[in-house]
Amino acid sequence: MRFLQREVFWNSIGVKVFVLYFVSMTFTVAVMGFLSFTKSTSVIQSNAGAMALQTIEQTEKRLQMILDEYDNRSQVILGYQELQKGIIGNFSDYYDRVKNTGTISNFITNMVNSKNDTVSINIIGKYDTSYRYSVITSTGFSVLPAADPALFQQEWCRQIIAADGKVVRFGIGYSFMPINSPTYENNPVYAFGRALKDLQGRGEIIGVLLYEIYPKELQNILREIDFSTSGNTFIMKRSGEIIANDPEKALPREMSELSLPDAPQGTDKAHILGKDELVVYREMEGTDWILVGMVPMKNLFKDTMQIKTYTLYLALIFVVVAIILTYIAGRFVHKPVYTLLYYMKKAREGDFEAKIPNRRSDEFGVLFDSFNVMLYRIKQLIDELYVQRILKKETQLKMLASQINAHFIYNTLDSIHWISRIYKIDTISTMIFGLSKYLRLSLSDGREFVTVDEAVELVESYLSIQKARYEDKFTVDVTVDPSVRQNKVLKFLFQPLVENAIYHGIENLTGTGEMHISWKKVESRLVFTVRDNGVGIKADDLERIRSTLEQTDISENFALRNINAQIKLTYGTEYGLTLESEAGIGTCVTMSIPLKD
């Protein structure tokens, strides 16, 4: 018994698939993951962050040296006594003023010529005189009157005054004091400034120095940082304001939202424009500026290509192994599944004689046996139920037709007709002739289907009998669409509806009745309509009649139910009768059936 249980267990398709997939996938993923992780982690962790941080530190020192040199220039201007004398206006006479102006001009010109990077020097005096030197203007050095007090209320000027003599670095941006000239181009400059104090007096602020320098030297240093072609290096404030960057590389707006740790230097990670970036930063001494370098992770780890190659070869080997194992597993699963699908398709197409040959002892074997039993039972049910249902439907159709079609004796009625003609009893003759014609058309050689023309003739024969009976009680208007005259229809669908209109609508009407009968084509359907101006039907009675049309176990409204049932049995459930009526106005019965040639 134990041996049999063990044999069934190992024959289980689930065990076979599980073992094969478990061994192949576990082995492949474990080996590839361990080797790739160990190798890549050791290389990346030892080199990436440290090298990037070292580069930023070296760059920060170079930038600091340049900025310090700029600061020293302003210190020289700050201590120049002749400049302070000119700003205050402490002159003995006009000659003294002219001499002082020439001395200041030579001093500033020599300073500018010693370094070929100055854009403008703006010395803004509060009391007597201001000076400007600009390489952009044709005159170079200019003497200006004391500055407008409103100038000292501008934000940049207020920052310089608040620093009380210390250097205020504004970074790279557009000039705070552009020249009013149509030829002037307000290009970006590196601007810094400091307050000028009266060194001979009590040290009060007598003016403001705004120094503007070409930013090329600073930008070149930022450009030279070798983080890769897609990296970015820039200087920003803690508040997020960008101070300087490489103009050849546009910074995305997300850079201003970059949040860095409070540490003076270090590394961090950021997600910018859908890319993971390594952020390396270092504070610049004496300022609230931060030198930031951003390197795409994928570029920073480009040295790991050898690891990728190594991993790729391993992956290819393991993929081949996995494919082989998967193929073996697929043979156990795919073949029986395909066999089952093949026989299911045959059964769907109506071949219930199909039987799956079964020599398996696993779950698929049980499934095949169950499928064969299911098909056998379905075939039995079809034989027992479906065929019986068809026979029942045909029998019901014949019974319905037999209830409508009365069996008259055509030859006898024809004889009565000729006797009436001999004795000149015209009314009887007309009725007998109409009835004889009606019966002849009704018999129609035993045919169940007739043309619309023949159905029209049958209705007109019936009407001739009723007109003879009711004399001038009603008038009839019959219209037939020529395009439907030769279409085939059930023989006994139309006359009962005309009969209903006479007996239930016009007979009880006071005065002359009107009846309109039509056969017309609407899209792919034949629509037969009987409309009268009879007594009509009350709303409650109309709803009750409509509800009984689909019922077969009641005796009310037999003719309408009988016709509606025959239409649905012959043509389908989407066809049938519709009733519209209003008490005192009249009734309209509409029949819809498909057009058949």
Render 487-552 in DSSP notation, one character per residue: -EEETTSSHHHHHHHIIIIITT-SS-EEEEEEEEEETTEEEEEEEE-SS---HHHHHHHHHHTT-S
Global model pTM greater than 0.75: no
In whole angstroms, what is the distance from residue 192 CA to residue 339 CA?
85
Question: Which residue is it, tokens 């890769």?
Answer: 228
In whole angstroms, what is the distance from residue 316 CA to residue 123 CA?
72
How confident is the model at residue 12, as a pLDDT?
A: 57
In whole angstroms, what is the distance from residue 579 CA to residue 567 CA?
15
In whole angstroms, what is the distance from residue 162 CA to residue 80 CA?
22
Neighbours of 572 (CB within 10 A): 11
Question: Which residue is it, tokens 């040295």?
Answer: 303
For the segment 334-375, what is each residue's pLDDT rounded down to a tens digit?
Answer: 677 767 777 888 877 777 777 888 777 777 778 878 888 888
Fold of 53-297: Beta-Lactamase (3.30.450)
Residues of the chain with pLDDT under 50: 1-9, 391, 395, 399-400, 402-408, 410-412
Question: Quick one: angle between helices 305-348 and 363-381, nearest 10?
Answer: 30
Partnered with residue 278 across adjacent β-strands are 269, 295
CATH architecture of 479-594: 2-Layer Sandwich (3.30)
Of 495, 507, 433, 434, residue with least CA distance to 470: 507
167 neighbors 64 (Cβ within 8 angstroms): no
Whole-angstrom CA distances from 297 to 250, 279, 301, 562 are 19, 10, 6, 83
CB-based contacts of 52: which residues, under 8 Å, 6+ apart? 227, 267, 278, 280, 293, 295, 300
Q: Which amino acid is at 403?
A: Q
How confident is the model at residue 444, as a pLDDT?
A: 54
How confident is the model at residue 551, as a pLDDT?
A: 67
Q: Which amino acid is at 95?
A: Y
Of 271, 269, 299, residue with least CA distance to 281: 269
163 neighbors 195 (Cβ within 8 angstroms): yes
For the segment 499-554, what is each residue's pLDDT rounded down to a tens digit?
Answer: 888 888 888 888 889 999 999 999 889 999 999 998 999 988 888 888 887 665 55
Q: Which amino acid is at 481?
A: D
Residue range(s) occupied by CATH 3.30.450.20 in the chain: 53-297
Whole-angstrom CA distances from 481 to 451, 484, 544 are 13, 6, 33
In whole angstroms, what is the distance from residue 240 CA to residue 259 CA?
8
In whole angstroms, what is the distance from residue 569 CA to residue 563 CA?
10
243 neighbors 172 (Cβ within 8 angstroms): yes
Mind spelling out the 3-state secondary structure of 26-58?
Answer: HHHHHHHHHHHHHHHHHHHHHHHHHHHHHHHHH
In whole angstroms, what is the distance from residue 86 CA to residue 100 CA?
7
In whole angstroms, what is the distance from residue 115 CA to residue 211 CA?
13
How confident is the model at residue 578, as a pLDDT?
A: 92
SS3 561: helix
Q: Which amino acid is at 479?
A: T
> Angle at CA 123, nearest 5°, toward 112 and 245?
65
SS3 390: helix
In whole angstroms, what is the distance from residue 280 CA to residue 277 CA?
10
How confident is the model at residue 262, as a pLDDT?
A: 73
